[in-house]
Amino acid sequence: MTLTIKVYFDYVCPFCFLAEKPLQEAAAGKDVNIEWMPFELRPYPNETLRPEGEYLQKTWKEHVYPMAERMGIPIVLPRVSPQPYTHLAFEGYQYAKEKGKASEYNHRMFTAFFQEEQDIGDIDVLTKLAGEIGLNEDEFRQALVTRKYKEAHEQALRHAYEEANITAVPTFVIGDAVLTGVRSKEMLEKVIQQEMEKQPLHDAGEGMSCRPEGCE
């Protein structure tokens, strides 16, 4: 029986980007289905963070950059200021998911923002990125302009906030196990194996993650 792994994430959370690689490595060759679940840390009209501010500068220096270096993942604090809202990127994700390109889309959003410093809150940028992974640019742009997937995205957020009670990202729901924060490939493999065998799992605690009030 296929094991479902749900990953709650936001495109502007660096720990979500860093969590992507070990998850893919841990899931490789296993009978698992990974579902990426939208979660907006600061939905409109909440103010988003500014990269030049003391908070992000300190968080990246003390936590993000050291972790990324250990993991061998290139990453930069994007100079897009203020940070973009992610609802349009997530509405684009709903389109990509319908076309069977959810994982490719998410990875391109992450690399565009955290490696190339592109503004993923801009429709022109999003459309270009969608085209790069083989999506129809005209259809994609029209979907964002008309807000075709607005309700689907809002429904996904209601699920995350109200039903799943997610408070931080990344959060992994692996079968019946819940883990918050970046985890190693080995830890994820262990949990996946235990859930596949339905063995009891002790609480593994929390790793580095982002919450609406900040990253830690």
- Tell me, what's the pLDDT at 204? 60
- Tell me, what's the pLDDT at 215? 74
CATH superfamily of domain region 3-215: Glutaredoxin (3.40.30.10)
- Tell me, what's the pLDDT at 1? 82
Long-range residue pairs from 70-73, CB within 8 A, at least 24 positions apart, any chain: 71/18, 71/21, 71/22, 73/17, 73/18, 73/21
- Tell me, what's the pLDDT at 213? 75
What's the angle, vertex CA 96, arms to CA 118 and CA 86, rounded to 5? 40
Query: What is the separation of C-alpha 87 from the centre of its chain, rounded to a whole number of angstroms?
Result: 13
Q: Determine the Cα–Cα distance for residues 42 and 33; give it in Å rounded to an integer.
A: 28
With CA atoms as reference, report the closest residue to 160 among 5, 7, 27: 7
Give the global pTM.
Answer: 0.91
Domains of the chain, by residue range, sit at 3-215
- Tell me, what's the pLDDT at 205? 64
* DSSP reduced 3-state for 30: coil
pLDDT tens track, the chain, 216 positions: 899 999 999 999 999 999 999 999 999 999 999 999 999 999 999 999 999 999 999 999 999 999 999 999 999 999 999 999 999 999 999 999 999 999 999 999 999 999 999 999 999 999 999 999 999 999 999 999 999 999 999 999 999 999 999 999 999 999 999 999 999 999 999 999 999 998 444 556 667 788 887 777
